[in-house]
Amino acid sequence: MASRKYKKRRRKKGGGFILSLFTFLIIIGAIIASVTVFLKVADVQVTGTARYDASDIVEVSGIETGDNMFLINKFEVAERILDKFPYVEQIKIRRRLPDTFTFEITERVPCGYIEADGNKWLIDNNAYILERIKDEGEIKVPKITGGDVVTPRAGNELILKNSDQLPVLKEVLTTLRHSGMVENITRVELAKLYDINVVYANRFMVALGDTTQLSKKIEMLRAVVEQLADYDKGTINVSAVKEARYKPDNNIDLSEKPSEPGKTENTDASEPASETPEEETATVE
């Protein structure tokens, strides 16, 4: 008798499990069906780009109206866009249910240009090659000199024969960008990494020395220039960090011929641009 009751209970438990499994499968099927049938792409929105048409970016992404929202590989989409558009530095792709994709784009900013094989190439502060310059009248960034360029190509990082120059170039351009000084600089000379020079507004040859406390040196340069008249020309030396020295020279040659190391300052003839103590020098956080 007890054995018969046990068999009945066992039969009930088995039937309950099958029923639960069947119900679970129905729910899963309904979810899959809703995803397949209802969650279709109806719109793709692009923000953050000034260089490219949103429609071109959407076309390259490969996403089309009616595609399943959850069968689209966001990483593959991002890779296609980054490969096609050199100015796109970063893209964030998000699904916004029930039917929209959003592309949030961060674009690269031109910070300099290099010459190679008779062409001029724009680069950003990370030495990423953006494009070949076709209209030289549009150049508003400094020329980079003193480095031998290897086969430049838009969409690739700049390659220099002297690989030690690349991180220095990135640091200089990044500091100039963050300080808002890129458009004031007409040339950056990297021939010797311990004796970096920049030309400011075709009026001043500026000795930076190496990249030690570079942000502070750039802010010192800004402070010196603000004290001078618009017609002043000469040399400015901020390489010592503690003190900036200015030597007026209305006949200074600021052509593209690289300056001679050690001749950007004459200690006897130089005039202190400021007696401001080091601790009162403006810095960039």
Task: Determine, yes or no, domain membership for 143.
Answer: yes
Q: Where does a domain end: 91, 107, 123? A: 107
Nearest to 53 by CA among 79, 80, 87: 87
Residue 191: is it exposed, middle or buried by C-beta count within 10 angstroms (0-12/13-18/19+)?
middle
User: 117 and 71: one domain?
Assistant: no
One-letter amino acid at 26 equals: I
Taking the C-alpha atoms of residue 121 and residue 109, their distance in angstroms, rounded to an integer, is 13
Task: Determine, yes or no, domain membership for 190.
Answer: yes
User: 136 and 170: one domain?
Assistant: yes
Task: Determine, yes or no, domain membership for 89.
Answer: yes
User: 87 and 135: one domain?
Assistant: no
Taking the C-alpha atoms of residue 27 and residue 35, their distance in angstroms, rounded to an integer, is 12
Task: Determine, yes or no, domain membership for 3.
Answer: no
Which pLDDT score is estimated for 12? 53
Contact, 107 vs 51, CB < 8 A? yes
Task: Determine, yes or no, domain membership for 192.
Answer: yes
CATH of the domain at 158: 3.40.50.10960
Task: Determine, yes or no, domain membership for 115.
Answer: yes
Which pLDDT score is estimated for 22? 63
Residues 164, 169, 174, 180: what is their CA dihedral angle, to the nearest 10 degrees? 160
CATH of the domain at 93: 3.10.20.310
Domain residue limits at 29: 12-107
Which pLDDT score is estimated for 115? 95
Q: Spell out the residues 6+ positions from residue 127 whose beta carbon is closer than 8 angstroms to its own.
A: 157, 158, 166, 169, 170, 173
Task: Determine, yes or no, domain membership for 267.
Answer: yes
Splitting the chain (285 residues) into consecutive groups of 10 residues, what average pLDDT does each group show?
52 60 64 62 95 96 93 95 96 93 97 94 97 89 96 95 97 97 96 96 96 96 95 96 93 73 41 40 31
Which pLDDT score is estimated for 135? 87
User: 17 and 63: one domain?
Assistant: yes
User: 142 and 207: one domain?
Assistant: yes
Taking the C-alpha atoms of residue 34 and residue 138, their distance in angstroms, rounded to an integer, is 53
User: 33 and 117: one domain?
Assistant: no
How many domains is the chain built from? 2
